[in-house]
């Protein structure tokens, strides 16, 4: 972090405190309150971190008002259009686009780490068949800490790198195995002659009885879904990974914590919830009823796939995803998909409604992704695991950055205590 040249002045009970202000390369200035408690004896209060920067980072930048997402300075539109997932993984992890030789080497390394320890198969078999694949993933990824102890010494940069490669490589295998187990089919081993996205589709859809040929159009669409979800700066699951690892915890266990956080419907679980909502709406004539429910303060219902903490104009990932949905459905010959029709009409109706306009609520990345995934033949329960596969590189890159940051400290928020003041214990017979 560079030395600050600006300051902010805070006055409490007539006493003045000068606080350093840091200027980022992009985005709003940040008031540095690290010494505030020591100097003024007060905390700041910001539930949900709506105005708080929890770290400095050079990986991803979002301008929510402009609807801009940059990874290491490159726009998501360019990356989704010109690059591919493993190149974006390299970019996020190492900070620069790889040369051809670096890319070949990286792809070779990831490809050769895709198998999981054979004994880990037993973990899957311990779960009920009807377990949600995210439940299985939380458990199995956490269990990697028991299998890959030779890359768990986080003080060793080489071990950190091997752990990173292992997680990026094995996550599709684990997600596909969770799926295969849930439908009672045999696990399918990864194939080194396939690219990352094709290999994932192969592990999901191939069966021993018959050859499965990966459709390159679907592989490209899957790769784009992976790319669009790769990182999103300090979102809830990434912050969870950073907080968990700030104590020096095992890297695989930290990623399991990120998966747990991602599962929630306000975060990665929204893609499943969104498709379920679109199906519940069913036909365009029911859209007004659901719009009315979303606006009703007495009704907890929200339009899933709508709204974002940071984007207040549009989510650039949603724009690419919408195009992709059109392309994929067209290529699959299902351009008259009734759910896509409901999605498009719902989007138009919400955008024309002052409630959504005033609150700056727009479709987010999850609004159209489920339609594509379902068209590919994936069940809704696999949508969030696919998000987890994609986001693994983001979690890992942020985790790596945290370790390389000399200012890294254990995460330990403070609180505004509103409970009882000290009182005397009363024996049970006297209560």
366 is catalytic: yes
**Residue 156 beta carbon to ligand CMC: minimum distance, rounded to whole angstroms:** 32
Task: Verify binding: residue 308, ligand CMC, rule CB under 6 A.
Answer: yes
User: 29 φ, ψ to 5°?
Assistant: -60, 160
- Of 90 and 306, the one with the shorter C-beta distance to ligand CMC is 306
Task: Verify binding: residue 76, ligand CMC, rule CB under 6 A.
Answer: no
Residue among 223, 231, 315, 366 flagged as catalytic: 366
Task: Verify binding: residue 258, ligand CMC, rule CB under 6 A.
Answer: no
205-226 burial, b for 16+ CB within 10 Å, e for fewer?
Answer: bbeeeeeeebbeebbbbbbbbb
Task: Verify binding: residue 172, ligand CMC, rule CB under 6 A.
Answer: no
What is residue 73's three-state secondary structure? coil
Q: Which stretch binds ligand CMC (CB under 6 A): 242-250, 264-272, 398-406, 414-422?
A: 264-272
Q: Which of 191, 309, 312, 344 binds ligand CMC (CB under 6 A)?
A: 309
Number of shown-chain residues binding ligand CMC (CB under 6 A): 19
Task: Verify binding: residue 373, ligand CMC, rule CB under 6 A.
Answer: no
Rounded CA-CA distance 294/297 in Å is: 8
Residue with tokens 């592989």: 219
Neighbours of 266 (CB within 10 A): 13
Q: Which stretch binds ligand CMC (CB under 6 A): 76-84, 190-198, 267-275, 413-421?
A: 267-275
Residue with tokens 């505030």: 36
Question: Residue number with the shortest CB distance to ligand CMC?
Answer: 307
Task: Verify binding: residue 304, ligand CMC, rule CB under 6 A.
Answer: yes
**Residue 271 beta carbon to ligand CMC: minimum distance, rounded to whole angstroms:** 8
Task: Verify binding: residue 359, ligand CMC, rule CB under 6 A.
Answer: yes
Task: Verify binding: residue 266, ligand CMC, rule CB under 6 A.
Answer: yes
Which of the 8 DSSP states describes residue 381? G
Task: Verify binding: residue 307, ligand CMC, rule CB under 6 A.
Answer: yes
Q: Which of 191, 302, 312, 344 binds ligand CMC (CB under 6 A)?
A: 302
Let me know: does 380 contact 374? Beta carbons within 8 Å. Answer: yes
103-132 burial, b for 16+ CB within 10 Å, e for fewer?
Answer: eeebbeebbebbebeeebeebbeebeeebb
Q: Which of 366, 371, 393, 394 binds ligand CMC (CB under 6 A)?
A: 366
Alpha helices in 7-125 (DSSP H): 36-40, 76-82, 85-94, 100-111, 121-125
- Of 172 and 258, the one with the shorter C-beta distance to ligand CMC is 258
**Residue 306 beta carbon to ligand CMC: minimum distance, rounded to whole angstroms:** 4
User: 17 φ, ψ to 5°?
Assistant: -125, 135
Q: Which stretch binds ligand CMC (CB under 6 A): 34-42, 71-79, 192-200, 358-366?
A: 358-366
Q: Provide, for the chain, the percentages of residues in helix, strand and coil under a 3-state DSSP scheme, each rounded to the nearest 5.
A: 55, 5, 40
**Residue 123 beta carbon to ligand CMC: minimum distance, rounded to whole angstroms:** 26
Secondary structure of 212-263 in HEC code, one letter for each residue:
CCCCHHHHHHHHHHHHHCCCCCCCHHHHHHHHHHCCCCCHHHHHHHHHHHHC
The residues that are catalytic are 308, 366
Binding site for ligand CMC (CB under 6 A): 235, 266-268, 270, 294, 302-309, 359, 361, 364-366
């Amino acid at each position: 972090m560079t030395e600050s040249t600006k300051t902010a002045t805070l006055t409490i009970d007539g006493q003045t405190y000068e606080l350093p202000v840091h200027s980022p390369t992009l985005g709003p200035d940040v008031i540095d309150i690290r010494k505030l408690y020591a100097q003024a004896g007060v905390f700041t209060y910001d539930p949900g971190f709506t105005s708080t920067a929890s770290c400095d980072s050079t990986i991803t930048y979002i301008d929510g008002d402009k609807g801009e997402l940059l990874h290491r300075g490159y726009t998501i539109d360019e990356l989704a259009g010109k690059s591919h997932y493993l190149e974006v993984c390299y970019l996020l992890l190492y900070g620069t686009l790889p040369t051809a030789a670096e890319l070949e080497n990286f792809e070779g390394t990831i490809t050769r780490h895709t198998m999981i320890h054979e004994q880990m198969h037993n973990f899957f078999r311990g779960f009920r068949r009807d377990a949600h694949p995210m439940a299985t993933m939380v458990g199995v990824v956490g269990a990697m800490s028991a299998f890959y102890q030779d890359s768990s010494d986080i003080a060793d940069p080489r071990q950190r790198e091997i752990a990173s490669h292992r997680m990026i490589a094995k996550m599709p295998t684990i997600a596909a195995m969770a799926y295969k187990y849930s439908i009672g089919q045999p696990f399918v081993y990864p194939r080194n002659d396939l690219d990352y996205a094709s290999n994932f589709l192969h592990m999901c859809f191939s069966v021993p009885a018959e050859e499965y040929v990966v459709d390159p159009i679907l592989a490209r669409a899957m790769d784009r879904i992976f790319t669009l979800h790769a990182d999103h700066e300090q979102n809830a699951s990434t912050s969870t990974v950073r907080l968990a690892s700030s104590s020096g915890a095992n890297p695989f266990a930290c990623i399991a914590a990120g998966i747990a956080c991602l599962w929630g419907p306000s975060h990665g679980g929204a893609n499943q919830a969104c498709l379920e909502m679109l199906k519940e709406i069913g036909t365009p004539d029911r859209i007004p009823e659901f719009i009315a429910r979303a606006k009703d303060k007495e009704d907890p219902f929200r339009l899933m796939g709508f709204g974002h903490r940071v984007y207040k104009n549009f989510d650039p990932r949603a724009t690419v995803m919408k195009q992709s949905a059109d392309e994929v459905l067209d290529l699959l010959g299902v351009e008259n998909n009734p759910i896509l029709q409901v999605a498009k009409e719902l989007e138009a109706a919400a955008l024309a409604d002052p409630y959504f306009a005033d609150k700056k609520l727009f479709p987010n990345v999850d609004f159209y992704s489920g339609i594509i995934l379902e068209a590919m033949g994936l069940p809704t329960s696999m949508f969030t695991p696919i998000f987890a596969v994609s986001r693994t590189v983001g979690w890992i890159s942020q985790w790596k950055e945290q370790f390389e940051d000399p200012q890294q400290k254990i995460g330990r928020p403070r609180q505004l205590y509103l409970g009882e003041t000290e009182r005397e214990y009363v024996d049970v017979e006297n209560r």
